[in-house]
Amino acid sequence: MNKLLHVPLILAGLSIASVGLAAERNDSGAGIYLGGSVGYYRINDADFLDENDKLKDNRHAWRAYAGLEAGRVFAIEAAYTDFGKTTDATADMELTGLSGAVLINIPLIPVIAPYGKVGMMYWDRDRTLGLLSSSDSGSDLFYGLGARFTLTQSVDMRVEYERYAIDDTDIDMASISLQLRF
């Protein structure tokens, strides 16, 4: 587990080391990007869990996404997120979702841009508690904050926090992403 915590530190070091390489890039054009991220999330499900349930522990998730940006300030993005299966002694939950979001970036310097995002997630959830099980789906708003670091002319790293309100379940997720720009 401790080795996984070193990955964000290594990527952050690489982004700082690449500042000189990326400083000469022209960010005025529009383009598409593809990316992937890994992260940890925390569940708070008032109707499904009790106070001692281990499903409230941090869990891992992954995401694949594609976007279209205009001038490195405005972007629209589509993503598939898999929150995986969280399991406790008698409780399980599986959650996946497709989302669309709008991102507004604020380029501070050519290689660092904090951003905010808001979007809609269309999700599918399967839950079991002992012999009881349920499946449901729906759509809910989500939002996030993050920072984009330019590593090279075509590679960015993103660090972000997102809050999902999936029906009666709140999910807070922190993630790190690498994206390729075309």
The pLDDT of residue 146 is above 80:
yes
Cα Rg of the chain, angstroms: 18
Task: Report the predicted TM-score, pTM, of the whole model to 2 decimal places.
Answer: 0.78
Looking at this protein, which amino acid is placed at residue 155?
V
* Cross-strand bridge partners of residue 124: 96, 137
| 3/113: higher pLDDT | 113
Residue 58 banded pLDDT, cuts 50, 70, 90: low
* Cross-strand bridge partners of residue 121: 99, 140
Segment of 20-29, 101-110, 122-131, 166-175 carrying the highest mean pLDDT: 101-110
Residues of the chain above pLDDT 70, percent: 76
Listed in sequence order, the residues at least 6 apart from 179 whose beta carbon sits closer than 8 Å to its beta carbon are 33, 34, 35, 36, 65, 67, 155, 156, 157, 158
Query: 53 phi and psi, to 5 degrees?
Result: -70, 135
What HEC string does 59-88 produce? EEEEEEEEEEEECCCEEEEEEEEEEEEEEC
Q: Which domains does the chain have, with CATH numbers?
A: 2-181 (2.40.160.20)
| 33/19: higher pLDDT | 33
In this structure, of 9-18, 72-81, 108-117, 144-153, the range with the lowest mean pLDDT score is 9-18
